[in-house]
Structure formats: structure tokens, C-alpha cells
Chains A and B, each alone.
Chain A
């Protein structure tokens, strides 16, 4: 009996000892796990902090870039202001005194001299156009976009009326199709319509049966508007290039202009989040298509 008791006791002790050892092992494991976890937490925290620092640095860089951009914008504004004021005064002097020479001192000038003065005046007038169009380009680039529902039809009709009044001797067949309403800045869109229509007008000047068509098609659920003419057209290789500032598909002698109008058109459309592109073949007219994005710039 005693022997059994002893054996049981010993077994109990052994089992307790075993459990204790097990427990200790587990404790050690938990501790190891814990310390591993702590290390990982510390590591992750450090990583996160580093990421945060990077983000903050990136943010500061972005803010600095933003400030630079704002400063650049202010510079640009100051620049166009200077162009408007300070370049125009000497230009007025060139044109003015050449004009006075021609109108009041013509008798003292040779015919060659009169011819040269005429060239001076022509150049002054060309420079005046360049300044005007550059200013317009700068204005459409920085003017605040005020989005409202816009009906393009009256804008087209006004532009056509102006063009007809400016060249009453020209017979241009104008067709205006359905123009679904859009959302945009009316003043800027009017400027764009003016530019596209005067382009169509200009490049059909040698076409006896000149026709200009304005209309729209639905492409991928969005209205896409077009201005189509049957004028000289252009080489499709330059379909993108003609939207760049100072790029022209024809010589100034053949078709006067500054090469800024279409750049303004593109700028206005991009600011509206839309697209503009041109399709043409030399001698077969041109079609300018544009969509006006739904979201403000």
C-alpha cells in the first residue's frame, strides 16, 4: 500500500515536474515570441516613421514646386503685362511717325522711300498682331475657368455674323447642325469658336463654292463637335503640329496669321478637360473636332 502510494506520488511529482518544464518552455517561447514581436513592431514603426519622413519630405518638395509654379505663373502674368504696355508704346511710335512721314512729308520722299516706309508700317502692323495674339494666348491660359451650361449655337451664330460683316464680298455657305448643350466657360468657348471659324473662313478664301459646316456627333456617349470646311486643307503629317504656338501649315503670304489661334483653341479645350484634333488632306478641306470634358480643370 505504501509502495503504491509512493509510486503514485513519484509519478505525480514527475508529471508536475514535466508540466513545469513544459510551462517554462512555453514561457521561454512566449518571451522569445514577444521579444520577436517587439522587435518587429519596433522595426515596422521605424519603417513607418521613415516612410512618413519620406512623405513629409516629398510634401515639402511638392509645396516648394508649387510655390515655384505660382511664382512662375506670376512672372508669366507680369511678362504679358509688360508685353501689353512696354512693347506697344515703341510700336505705336514706329507706326505713328511712319504714318506722319507718309501723310505729311510724302512730297519730300522718293517713291522708293515711300515704298520703304510702307514696309515699316506693314511690319509694325504684323508685330501688333503678334502681340495681340500672344496676349490672347496668355489670357486663355490663366483666366479663371467659370463653368456653366453653355449653348454653343449663339456663339457660332455670333462668330459667323462677325465674319460675314468683315468680308461682305465673300459668299460662304454656312450650315449649323444640332449642337447639344455643354458645360464650360462661355467666354473661353466663344474665343475658341471664333478662332476655329475664322480659320475655316481664312482657308476657304480661294474656294469659289466655299462652305463651312458646324455640327456634332455622339462618340462614346459624349457629344463631339466639329467645324468642317472645304478649303485648302493641310498635310495630315502636321495634324498635331498645327496646334503648337507659332506653327503654321501654310505661308504667311498665302494665308496671313500669327500661328497662335489654334494653340489658343487647344489650350482652351485642354483646360476644359476635353480633346481637340484635326483631320485633313491637302486640297480637300479640313475638319476640326473637339469634345468638352465634363469636369473642370
Chain B
């Protein structure tokens, strides 16, 4: 496997980030979690620009957990940018949002989200959801390793 299973977590809530990291730390499937606190940082990370200029696109991530309501650039914009670039067009992106609003769900899928999970309010359920997500997307699912032509 191409360097293990790396997750990019995009979330602006400090406590949500801490709880998510706490849950993912116990997950043997996950080898690395990077955190972006807003949409602009997420795009810089994914496309190895700005603060992440030294990074290589080959270093993942293998899965993006993307919140929708974010400062500067929101989750929809991040998703749109990721899908419109051939290098990341097939990158698995799971929306992890507190919103269960139908319009958010529809818009996410319209922009090419692979999956949409409503962030549970209870920590145990959040931990279970994260475990299911990592085992599906990082272990079971077979990703495309080459960029789209």
C-alpha cells in the first residue's frame, strides 16, 4: 500500500477536532491524521501550496473528512476544487457535518462527495462512525492510484 492510511480532517471546531483525533488515535487502520482548520488551509494542504508547499501530492491524504460550515472557504468550495482537478478527482471525500439538512446532502452529492455522514452528537456514536468510515474507506475500498486523464 502507498504509505499507509492518511486522513485529512477539515474542521474548524477545536473540541470536535480533539474528539475526532481521540477517536482516530485508537484506530489501528489510521497511520496519520492531518488537520486543516478552514477550507483555505485544506486546499493548500491537498494541492501542496502555501503553508504546505514542501508537501508532495503522493503523500496523500487517502481520505478527506470534510465539514461543510468552515471559515474563509466552505466545504462545498473545497469539494468543488478537489473534484475539478484531475489529480484529486477520485480522492475519497466524506462529508462529516452536523447538518442533516436535505439541501446540504443534495448539494454535497451534486458536487461529488463520496459519502455523507451526519456528525453524531454523542461521542460514542461519533467514535463508532469514524471507525466504520476508516475501515470502509481505508481498508475495504479500492482507490484509483493514478490521476484522471
Q: How far is the CB of A286 from chain B (nearest CB, A)?
A: 31
Rounded to whole angstroms, the CA-CA distance of A131 and B16 in the bound complex is: 18
Q: Which of A29-37, A87-95, A266-274 touches B?
A: A87-95
| Contact flags B91-133 to A (C-beta < 8 A → 1, else 0) | 0000000111100000000000000000111111010000000
Which residue from B98, B101, B123 sits with its C-beta under 8 Å from A88?
B98
- Judge whether A85 and B15 touch: CB under 8 Å: no
Known: A85-B69, A99-B123, A128-B122. A93 touches B98 (CB 8 A): no
Interface size on A, residues (CB 8 A): 18
- A residues in contact with B101, CB < 8 Å: 81, 84
- Judge whether B98 and A96 touch: CB under 8 Å: no
Rounded to whole angstroms, the CA-CA distance of A100 and B22 in the bound complex is: 9
Q: How far is the CB of B108 from chain A (nearest CB, A)?
A: 15
Q: How far is the CB of A85 from chain B (nearest CB, A)?
A: 5
B49 interface residue (CB < 8 Å to A)? no
- B residues in contact with A97, CB < 8 Å: 15, 19, 123
Most buried by B among A81, A85, A88, A92: A92
Known: A85-B99, A128-B121. A96 touches B126 (CB 8 A): yes
Rounded to whole angstroms, the CA-CA distance of A89 and B15 in the bound complex is: 8
Which residue from B15, B99, B123 sits with its C-beta under 8 Å from A84?
B99
Rounded to whole angstroms, the CA-CA distance of A89 and B18 in the bound complex is: 12
Rounded to whole angstroms, the CA-CA distance of A88 and B120 in the bound complex is: 9
- Judge whether B19 and A85 touch: CB under 8 Å: no
Which residue from A92, A93, A95, A124 sits with its C-beta under 8 Å from B119?
A92
Rounded to whole angstroms, the CA-CA distance of A128 and B100 in the bound complex is: 14
Nearest residue, chain B, Cβ from A90:
B15
B13 interface residue (CB < 8 Å to A)? yes
A211 interface residue (CB < 8 Å to B)? no
Q: How far is the CB of A35 from chain B (nearest CB, A)?
A: 68
Interface size on B, residues (CB 8 A): 17
B window 51-80: CB within 8 A of A: 69
A247 interface residue (CB < 8 Å to B)? no
Rounded to whole angstroms, the CA-CA distance of A96 and B16 in the bound complex is: 9
- Judge whether A96 and B19 touch: CB under 8 Å: yes
Q: How far is the CB of B62 from chain A (nearest CB, A)?
A: 25
| Contact flags B22-66 to A (C-beta < 8 A → 1, else 0) | 100000000000000000000000000000000000000000000
- Judge whether B123 and A89 touch: CB under 8 Å: no
- Judge whether B123 and A100 touch: CB under 8 Å: yes
A window 63-99: CB within 8 A of B: 81, 84-85, 88-93, 95-97, 99
| Contact flags A120-151 to B (C-beta < 8 A → 1, else 0) | 00001100100100000000000000000000
- Judge whether B98 and A125 touch: CB under 8 Å: no
Q: How far is the CB of A9 from chain B (nearest CB, A)?
A: 103
- B residues in contact with A128, CB < 8 Å: 121-122
Q: How far is the CB of B141 from chain A (nearest CB, A)?
A: 27
10 contacts between A and B (CB under 8 A): A88-B119, A89-B15, A92-B19, A92-B119, A93-B16, A93-B19, A97-B15, A97-B19, A100-B22, A131-B121
In the complex, besides A89-B98, A92-B15, 16 extra interface pairs with C-beta distance below 8 angstroms are A84-B101, A85-B69, A85-B98, A88-B121, A89-B15, A92-B19, A92-B119, A92-B121, A93-B15, A93-B16, A93-B19, A96-B19, A97-B19, A97-B123, A100-B123, A125-B122
What is A's interface to B at a CB cutoff of 8 Å?
81, 84-85, 88-93, 95-97, 99-100, 124-125, 128, 131
